C-alpha cells in the first residue's frame, strides 16, 4: 500500500541511514526466503512459526525506526513551518496501524 506524497519530496528522515535500512530489509527478505525453504522442506510447524515471529519482530523494528525518523524530521520540520497538524495525524495513523498489527 503506497500513498501519493508528491508534496513530500525527499530527503526523508531515513535518508541518512538509507544503506543501513536497506541492509536490514535485505536481511528480512532473506528470512522470508528461509521461511519458504522451511515450508518446502516440510520443517516442523513450530520451527516455522518461530521464524515467522522473528521476521515479524524484525519488520516491527524497522517500522518503529521509520516512525522515529518521521517524528524527528518530518513532524519537527512541519512544526517549525507553523502547522504540524497534518504530519501529527500521519504519525498517529501510522502508530494506530502498528498497534493493530
Q: Please determine, for residue 69, whether its predicted confidence score (pLDDT) is greater than 70.
A: yes
Q: Please determine, for residue 62, whether its predicted confidence score (pLDDT) is greater than 90.
A: yes
Residue 11 C-alpha cell reads as 530527503
Confidence of residue 15 (pLDDT cuts 50, 70, 90): confident
What pLDDT is attached to residue 31?
97
What pLDDT is attached to residue 79?
92
Report yes or no: 16 and 72 within 8 Å, Cβ to Cβ. Answer: no
pTM beyond cutoff 0.85: no
Amino acid at each position: 500500500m503506497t500513498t501519493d506524497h508528491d508534496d513530500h519530496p525527499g530527503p526523508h528522515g531515513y535518508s541518512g541511514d538509507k544503506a543501513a535500512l536497506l541492509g536490514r530489509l535485505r536481511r528480512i527478505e532473506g528470512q522470508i526466503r528461509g521461511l519458504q525453504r522451511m515450508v518446502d522442506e516440510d520443517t516442523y510447524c513450530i520451527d516455522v512459526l518461530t521464524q515467522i515471529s522473528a521476521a515479524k519482530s524484525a519488520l516491527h523494528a524497522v517500522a518503529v525506526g521509520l516512525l522515529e525518523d518521521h517524528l524527528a524530521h518530518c513532524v519537527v520540520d512541519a512544526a517549525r513551518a507553523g502547522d504540524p497538524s497534518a504530519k501529527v495525524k500521519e504519525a498517529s495513523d501510522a502508530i494506530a496501524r502498528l498497534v493493530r498489527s
